[in-house]
A and B are shown apart, each in its own frame.
Chain A
């Protein structure tokens, strides 16, 4: 039972354009959502998060949008750069559980 889903295994965009990565979840008890970025042969690194009481959080070129009624969040990267090419994981934190549940990841390729 996958509680956090990323339905697009891969995404390719042109440099300078917008990248939109999507994530769906099933558990309404999640209170924080996070995005991680992972380069090959490295550990995942934290990118940006959003509380369940917010609908948008922005950090430079990265913006996360949360639609609680649809149980959907998205990560927007504008403008996309070749260095953004990586696997992006969506993750959700469920309050008292102390666990972070990850999606399956989306491989983003930004073409120069």
Chain B
């Protein structure tokens, strides 16, 4: 199993509060990704990182920010959570040599915004 852990695994919060999800890897992989999974939408890319302090937007980045100050940690922040951000969030990692694009996913973080 890829060494990737997400925290917290479950969180309930209120609209307007800030939330930070953490992804930690022990594989020393260069690429890290945040996806959200919603019924009818599949997995959609929020942000990704291709190195320390190097990040880029995905297809649903509005309302989210990320930071990567260390190779092993990739943080996803919702500055002011909204009910539309209720979702299951998955972190994923990829070796830079993996030109197939294959990703290894974490177990997911279920976020409920009331």
Which residues of A come within 8 Å of B, CB atoms? 6, 9, 31-32, 34, 41-46, 49, 51, 89, 91, 93, 98-105
Bound-state CA distance A41–B92 (Å) is: 15
Bound-state CA distance A104–B38 (Å) is: 9
Q: Per a CB cutoff under 8 Å, which of B42, B48, B58 touches A104?
A: B42
User: How would residues 20 to 52 of chain B score, 1 for a CB under 8 Å from any chain A CB and 0 otherwise?
Assistant: 000000000001010100001111110010100
A102 touching B50 in the complex, CB below 8 Å, given contacts A32-B100, A43-B90, A43-B107: no
Query: Distance in Å from the Cβ of A85 to the closest Cβ of chain B?
Result: 17
Residues of B within 8 A of A105 (CB): 42-43
Provide 25 A-B residue pairs closer than 8 Å at the C-beta atoms, listed in order of the A residue: A32-B99, A32-B100, A32-B101, A34-B102, A41-B107, A42-B108, A43-B90, A43-B92, A43-B105, A43-B107, A46-B103, A89-B42, A98-B48, A98-B94, A99-B45, A99-B58, A100-B33, A100-B45, A100-B92, A101-B45, A102-B43, A103-B42, A104-B40, A104-B42, A105-B42
